Amino acid sequence: MLQISPSILSADFANLESELSRISGADWAHVDVMDGHFVPNLTIGLPVVEALKRVSPIPLDCHLMIEDPDRWAPQYAEAGGASVTFHIEAATDPVATARAIRAAGARAAFAVKPGTPFAPYADLVREVDMVLVMTVEPGFGGQSFMADQMPKVTEVREAVRQLGGEVWIQVDGGVSESTIGQCVEAGADVFVAGSAVFGADDAGNQVARLRDLARQHAHP
């Protein structure tokens, strides 16, 4: 199942409720939580996630670019994140953190930055519901897509195939009409798009357009 998760990092922060209504046809609303430590940018935290949960027409996909996710990630599940992704580079006990997220009722995921190899963490696939392969350096929206991350997506897809089970593979960064096909062909099935959606006059149409393009590249 191919899914579109528009990133509200590219939305109008003064009007988040109306911005969410623009993407009501998407599968998820991707919420970038940045702490100014793990990444240089500072965005939103738990109170905003709780507020978004009250008004969002679609489930929240929380991407935690923060230090100490072992402590904080389960709280984002409790605050209303239907999926909570932590960075493997920041976690000290990723197995316990993934299990705590799931225990709080959310889907658990871990993310790898462009410079982080996937192989050392392949066994963790059995503990999560999704793996996020970053296709830009985390921290800012509007960056250029890194096509050199596609072999890593394929590597994750192969690990998922070997282990069996239903684990999604998400890509985040520079995903647009011109890059989504490569992501599908490499093995991704959840696509985070920020400026490509919210920069469009009709965000809803753009979500549908990206989904159609993804389907055109999907393996039968």
pLDDT digits (tens, 9 = 90+) for 88-126: 999 999 999 999 999 999 999 999 999 999 999 999 999
Confidence category of residue 220, pLDDT binned at 50, 70, 90: confident
Confidence category of residue 165, pLDDT binned at 50, 70, 90: confident
Confidence category of residue 77, pLDDT binned at 50, 70, 90: very high
Percent of the chain at pLDDT exceeding 70: 100
The yes-or-no verdict on residue 21 having pLDDT over 90 is yes
The yes-or-no verdict on residue 142 having pLDDT over 90 is no
Confidence (pLDDT) at 143: 85
Please, what is the average pLDDT of the chain? 96
Confidence (pLDDT) at 192: 98
Asked if 73 contacts 64 with a C-beta cutoff of 8 angstroms, the reply is: yes
Catalytic residues: 32, 172
Confidence (pLDDT) at 164: 80
For residue 25, CA distances in Å to 19, 57, 113 come to 12, 9, 29
The yes-or-no verdict on residue 139 having pLDDT over 90 is no
Report yes or no on whether pTM surpasses 0.95.
yes
What is the arithmetic mean of pLDDT over 156-160? 97
Residue the block writes with tokens 């984002």: 76
The yes-or-no verdict on residue 71 having pLDDT over 80 is yes
| Alpha-carbon gap, residue 214 to 220, rounded angstroms | 12
| Alpha-carbon gap, residue 54 to 17, rounded angstroms | 9
Confidence (pLDDT) at 63: 98
Maximum distance among all Cα pairs of the chain, rounded to whole angstroms = 45
What is the arithmetic mean of pLDDT over 61-67? 98
The yes-or-no verdict on residue 219 having pLDDT over 80 is no
Which amino acid belongs to residue 184?
A: V
Query: How many residues are present in the chain?
Result: 220
Find, among 111, 46, 44, the residue nearest to 74 by Cα: 46
Q: Which residues contact 51 (CB under 8 A, 6 or more apart)?
A: 16
